[in-house]
Structure 1
C-alpha cells in the first residue's frame, strides 16, 4: 500500500508541476486544493526535500523538483505503456504462435488458412515447424502441436479435431493396365507404394497379412504423404493414404 500511495502522490506531483497550481489539478480531479497540497507535502516528507518553492503568486519547482519531474514523467509513461501492453494481451490476439505439424498436413490444411488467420489477427506471428518427429511442446516451447494417431498419456491438453480414415489410391490408367484388386491377397501381384519410418500412420505392412506383405512388390517407400500421392498420380502403383492427404488440389 505504501508503494501505491507513493505512486499516486508522484502522479499528482507531475500533474501539479505541469499545471503550475494546486487548484487547477484539484478542479480536474474533483477535489479541494488542500487535498492536493497534502499529497505534495507527503511526497516531500517521504523524499526529505522540497519539490516546490511556494508563494501566493506562483508555484516554482526546486532543483530537486526538476530532477523528479524529469524522471517521474518517464517512469509514469512507461507504467502506462506497460499496463496498455498487458491489457492488450487479453483484449486481442497478438504475439508469436509456435506450431509444430506434419509437413504434408500443414501444406494442405494449415498453410492455406494462414491468410484468413492474419486478416482476423494482424498482430499475430506464426512460427511453423514442419516435422515428422514427436516434439516435446514443453521443452521446445510449442504453443500448438498437430499430430496424427494415438497420443501418449500426458497431462497436456489435447483435443481431437478430426477422425482419420485410410483410402486405397491408384490412377484409372494404372488399374486399367494392371487390373483392379478386389481382395487383399491380390495386392501381391501389384506394385505398392508404402510409407517408411513414420510411426504416426499405417502402411501396407500393418494392413496386409505377413505372407501377403512379404510377397508384395514395393515400387516406392517414402515417409512423406505428398511424395506418395504424387507417385500414385504418376502411375507408380497403389498406395494406402490417409483421407486428409488426398483430394482435389
Structure 2
C-alpha cells in the first residue's frame, strides 16, 4: 500500500471530486484515478462509489477515511516536529483568507516568511467566501469578525474596527451627519455579503441603533467600496485595514456619529481534529508579530481630530 495512494484518497474525499483532487495535488486526473484504483486493489474493497454525477464513500471508504486522515495528520506532525528540531520547516501548507485583507496585509507578511522557510510550499486561497477547513483540506484560515463555528480552534491575531468614512468632497457637497438617524439623508455604499442592518448597527449608551441610507452602490469587495467612497459616491462602513492609507493621506475622512461601531478580531482558525504542525504554529506567530499590537493600520482618532 503506497502512501501517495492514501494521500490521494484523502484528497479526493476532501476536494469532493477526482478533478478537484488532481488540481490540488498538481497531477493529471488519470494519475488520481490510477492511484485510487491501486489503493482499492491493495485494501481489497471499493472505497469510493463512482457515478456520472457524484462520488460517494462506501461504508468501508468512510471507515478507511477516518483512519487515513488521522494517520496522515499524525505523520505530517511527526515530520514537522523532526524538521522543527532541525530548525527547518518543510512541506505543503494550505491557507485561506479574505480577498482584501489577503492582498493588503497577509501577502506582504507572508513573503518574508516564505523567504525564511523555502522548504514550505504555500497554497494561498484568497476568497471572501466561508471555506470549509476540514472538508476542503485547509491547514489554516484567516477570519475577521465573530466566529460562530465552535468546531474550530481560533487564535486572535489582532483587533480591527469598522469606520464610517466619506470623501471630503462628498461631505462638502452633502454635509456631515452628526447622528445615526441622519444617515437616511445620505447615499451610501454597502458590502453585499453582509446584511445592511449588520453593517449600520451602532452602539450607544442606552443600547443599539440601526442606521439606513439610500444605496448608491452595493458590491462584494472592500477595495471597491473604498475606491467608490474616494470617488465621492457616498458614505461607507469599511474596515480600518482597508482604508488606513486613504485616511492617512486625506482621500477619506472618518465621520463620527453619536454611536460607535463594534471592534472585531482578526483570527487564525484551525480544524479541531488536526494537530497544529510546527509550520502552522510558526506562521501564526509570524503573522501576529508582523501585524503588531496595536496593528500598524490602526486609525488614531485623537491624532487626526483636526480633520473632523
Q: What is the TM-score of this pair, normalised by structure 2?
A: 0.48
The residue aligned with 2:282 is none
Q: Do 1:194 and 1:218's aligned partners in 2 also have CA atoms closer than 8 Å?
A: yes
Between Structure 1 and Structure 2, which shows a larger proportion of strand residues? 2
Q: Which residue does the alignment assign to 1:156?
A: 152
Please give the root-mean-square deviation of Cα atoms over the aligned residues, in Å: 2.6
The C-alpha deviation readout for 1:141-181, integer Å capped at 9, x for no partner, is 11111111111242432111122212111111111111111
* Paired residues of 1:132 and 1:198 also in contact (CA < 8 A): no
Higher relative contact order by CA 8 Å / sep ≥ 6: 1 or 2? 2
Cα shift readout 1:221-244 (whole Å, capped 9, x = no counterpart): 112111101111111111011122
Q: CA deviation at 1:209?
A: 5.1
Which residue is 1:242 aligned to?
Answer: 239
CA shift in 2, pair 1:181/1:90, >3 Å: same
State yes or no: 1:88 paired with 2:112.
no
Matched, 1:104 2:104: no
How many pairs align? 162
Q: In 2 relative to 1, CA 197–155 (structure 1 residues): closer, same or farther, beyond 3 Å? A: closer
* Aligned counterpart in structure 2 of residue 139 of structure 1, from 112, 135, 141: 135
Aligned-residue offset at 1:87: 3.8
| Cα separation, 1, equivalents of 2:157 and 2:80 | 32
Cα deviation, 1:64-104, whole Å, max 9, x if unaligned, reads xxxxxxxxxxxxxxxxxxx9998436531112211111101
Secondary structure, aligned partner of 1:236: coil
CA–CA separation in structure 2 for the residues paired with 1:202 and 1:85: 42
Aligned runs of 1:76-225 on 2, under 5 Å? 87-88=82-83, 90-91=85-86, 92-198=88-194, 202-204=198-200, 206-207=201-202, 213=212, 216-225=213-222
User: What does residue 269 of structure 2 align with?
Assistant: none
CA contact (8 A) 2:96 2:127 kept: yes
State how far apart, in whole Å, the 2-side matches of 1:228 and 1:202 are: 16
Provide the rounded CA distance (Å) in 1 between the counterparts of 2:84 and 2:92.
12
Relative distance call for 1:88 and 1:195 in structure 2 (3 A) is same
Question: Where in structure 1 are there 5+ consecutive unaligned residues?
Answer: 1-82
- Whether the 8 Å CA contact 1:194–1:221 is kept in 2: the answer is yes
Moved over 3 A (4+): 83-90, 206-210
Structure-2 separation of matches of 1:235 and 1:202: 23
Q: Which has the higher helix share?
A: 1
